[in-house]
Structure formats: structure tokens, C-alpha cells
Amino acid sequence: MKQFLWPSIKLTLLSLVLLSGLYTLILLGFARLTPGKGKGEMIEWKGKTYYANIGQSFTDDRYFWSRPSAVGYNAAGSGGSNKGPNNPEFLQTVKDRIDTFLVHNPGINRAQIPVDMVTASGSGLDPNISLQAARVQASRIARLRGIPEASLVALIDKQTEKPLLGLFGPAKLNVLRLNIALDDLK
């Protein structure tokens, strides 16, 4: 055992320099070349910058709502509800969310509410909603903002992010981009 101890320690320290040190520095260097300078994808609007991929809480009826979150969109942490699919407490929460949604969106029926609007995401920071989730909110926002619903539908179409290369994964909308475009509409 003794004969291996010194080589082990020396090899560990050298590997640390290479794998934790040099490797990290190389990627920090490449990060400078990315559009966000290593911060990730950012959105600039009216002189402010926002994280494109970190969801924000939108509960104001004049904006498109984001999904429910188990951590209240607190990006200093992250988390899901971790409730099992048959947990009575969880099912009650979903029922309550459906009722709230119906109250705030008069005129729509239950079958139009997409499941992503009444369930919490895994990260608690989901920046996206589904197409259905955006469309079902259009009439409420059109009424409160006094703009024709047709122009909102057009806005949703324009803001829809197609599947990757048109082939892979779901279509979606970024709630922050959508709401910025909504404020720009006037």
C-alpha cells in the first residue's frame, strides 16, 4: 500500500491542475466568445437585461401568466413539488388552480385549460409555456388591454418557437419574450 501512496498523492494534485484548473480556464476563455459572455442567453429591452432562460412570475391578468412554481420563481434556488401523481394534497392543489384559472378567464371552458398551466415545473423556473397555454389566455388579455384578439393570436404565432430544426421536441413560447412583445404592441 505504501508504495502507492506517494504516486497517488502526486498524481491527484497534477490531475487537479489539469481537470479542475486548465479545463475550467479553457472553457472560461471560450465563454468570452458567446453572445452572453458566459452569463447565458440574455434579453435586452429598454436598457435592462434579463435572463432569457430563467422564468419569471407573471400573475398580473394583463400579462401572459407563467406556469405555477413550487419555489415561487426564486432563482437563488430551484425545485419542484415532488408530489406523487396520486397524492390527495397535490390533486387538490391542481383543482384549486383550475378554479382560479376559470375565475380569471371567464368565457373559456375547462377542456381548454392545458395541463402545463395547472402543474408546477421540475425546476420551478420554467421560462416557457405551451401554445395552448398562450392561446387560452388571449381573450382575457385582449379584453383587459382593449386590443383585438386577432392581433394577440398573430402575436402568439409570431412568438412561437418551433421545434428544433423543425424536427425535434415540442413547440413552445418564452413567457418573458411574449410579454415584452405584448408591451411593445401599442
Partner 1 sequence: MNTEIIGILAMFLITLLLALPLGKYIARVYDGQRTFLDPVLGPLERLFFRISGVDPAESWSWQKNLVALLVINLVWFLLGMFILMNMAWLPLNPDHNPSQGAHLAFNTTISFLVNCNLQHYSGESGVSYLGQLYLMFLQFTTAATGMVGAVLLFRALRKGTHKTFGNFFSDYLKTCTRILLPLSLIMGIMLLFSGTPMTMEGKQQTIGLRGDTMQVSTGPVAAFVPIKHLGTNGGGFFGTNSAHPLENPGYGSNMIEMVAQMLIPFAMVFAFGIFIRRKRMAWVIFGVMTLGFLALAIPNTYMEAKGNPAIAHMGIDNSLGNMEGKEVRLGAAAAGYWSIATTVISTGSINSMHDSHMPLSGMNELLAMMINCFYGGCGVGILNYFIFIILAVFISGLMVGRTPEFLGKKIEAREMKIAMIIALLHPLLILAGTALATAFPQYTSGTLNNPGFHGFSEILYEYTSSAANNGSGFEGLGDNTPWWNITTGFVLILGRYLPIIGPVAIAGILGGKKYIPESAGTLQTDTPTFGFMTLAVIAIVAALAFFPALTLGPIAECFSSK
Interface with partner 1 in residues 46-75 (CB under 8 A): 48-58, 60, 63, 67, 73-75
| Residue with smaller CB distance to partner 1, 42 or 148 | 42
CA distances to 6, 7, 9, 19 from 13, rounded to whole Å, are 11, 10, 6, 10
Other beta carbons within 10 angstroms of residue 175's beta carbon come to: 24
* Region 94-133 residues binding partner 1, contact defined as CB under 8 A: 94-95, 98, 110-116, 118-130, 132
Residue 141 makes contact with partner 1 by CB under 8 A: no
Rounded distance, CA 129 to CA 44, Å?
A: 21
DSSP string, 39-91: S--EEEETTEEEESSS------TTS------TTTT-TTS-------TT-HHHH
Paired with 172 in beta bridges are 161
| Residue with smaller CB distance to partner 1, 15 or 151 | 15
Q: Please give the single-letter amino acid code of residue 127.
A: P
Among 28, 150, 154, 185, binds partner 1 (CB under 8 A): 28
Cell matching residue 36: 452572453
# residues near partner 1 by CB under 8 A: 98
Question: Helix (H, G, I), strand (E, B), or coil: what is residue 146?
Answer: coil
Residue 184 makes contact with partner 1 by CB under 8 A: no
| Residue with smaller CB distance to partner 1, 102 or 148 | 102
**Least CB distance to partner 1 at residue 81 (A):** 7
Residue 91 makes contact with partner 1 by CB under 8 A: yes
Among 1, 44, 107, 146, binds partner 1 (CB under 8 A): 1
Residue 186 makes contact with partner 1 by CB under 8 A: no
